[in-house]
Amino acid sequence: MRTFLRAAPLAGALMLVAAGCGSTVEGSAVADPFAPSTANPDPSLGIEGITVIEYPAGLHVRETQRVAYDRTPPFGGPHDAVWASCTGTVYDKPIRSENAVHSLEHGAVWITYDPTLVTGAALDGLVDRVEGQPYLMMSPYPGLSVPISLQSWGHQLVVDGPLDARIDQFVNALRLNRNTFPEPGATCATLPDVFDAENPPPFQPGPPDRSDPNTVPMN
């Protein structure tokens, strides 16, 4: 696996628009600098503070197993064969990481937050960004130690609050960016009898016991 941090300076205020779209300033089209293009297949590399790791894809574990992930929250590596619903799904309880990582393999962005640090209007701001939006999901992540962490396959960004412009940059650059995730065309929808978004598999806090035969290593 290859890891690097990118800390490129941001040049002035950026106009944020939907991924793949442009805006108009005095009648002139202005391209979104964080929309993927042939010339810039992964615009997230220009986001200050981005972390990028290369992970192998397609490694599945059983529902009784846990993965000894190398990052918290995880954003790549072995994962459950069943993905978490990521159709603009707002979870009000923490969810199992192994299901969430599979959603990232499908091109989703997973927004997590520390429920002790993000409440009230700040939490409402995140919900407004996510609810009903395809290939987005969010959930609380107890003990996160930072207010908000965003994950896509092989990419992570931490921010201090919902007003940080880098949240939209991250989503625009990475949601359904076929240059950055392994399974273009895969769905984010789930059937309730396979993955019940109203009663998802429970979050398992802390690192797994590496001596447990049900713990799966990253390599």
- Is the pLDDT confidence value at 23 over 60? no
Query: Hey, what are 162's tokens?
Result: 């919902």
Give me the percent of the chain exceeding a pLDDT of 90.
Answer: 84
- Is the pLDDT confidence value at 15 over 70? no
Indicate the number of domains in the chain.
Answer: 1
- Is the pLDDT confidence value at 133 over 60? yes
Query: Hey, what are 97's tokens?
Result: 């990481």
Domain membership flag for residue 46: no
Q: Which residues, listed in sequence order, are joined to residue 60 by a DSSP beta bridge? A: 79
- Is the pLDDT confidence value at 18 over 50? no
pLDDT digits (tens, 9 = 90+) for 167-209: 999 999 999 999 999 999 999 999 999 999 999 999 999 999 9
Label residue 145 by pLDDT band (50, 70, 90).
Answer: confident
Label residue 31 by pLDDT band (50, 70, 90).
Answer: confident
Range of the domain at 121: 59-205
Query: Contacts by 125-129 with C-beta closer than 8 Å and gap 24+?
Result: 125/162, 125/163, 126/162, 127/90, 129/162, 129/167, 129/168, 129/171
Domain membership flag for residue 95: yes
How large is the C-alpha radius of gyration of the chain?
17
Amino acid at 191: L
Domain membership flag for residue 7: no
Sequence-distant (6+) residues with CB within 8 A of 101 are: 67, 69, 74, 75, 76, 77, 78, 79, 80
Q: What's the whole-number mean pLDDT along residues 44-72?
A: 97
* Average pLDDT value over all residues in the chain: 89
- Is the pLDDT confidence value at 28 over 80? no
Q: What's the whole-number mean pLDDT along residues 44-61?
A: 97
Domain membership flag for residue 49: no
pTM for the full predicted model: 0.86
Nearest to 14 by CA among 37, 35, 41, 38: 35
Domain membership flag for residue 178: yes
- CATH assignment at residue 148: 3.40.30
Q: What's the whole-number mean pLDDT along residues 32-43?
A: 96
Domain membership flag for residue 8: no
Domain membership flag for residue 99: yes
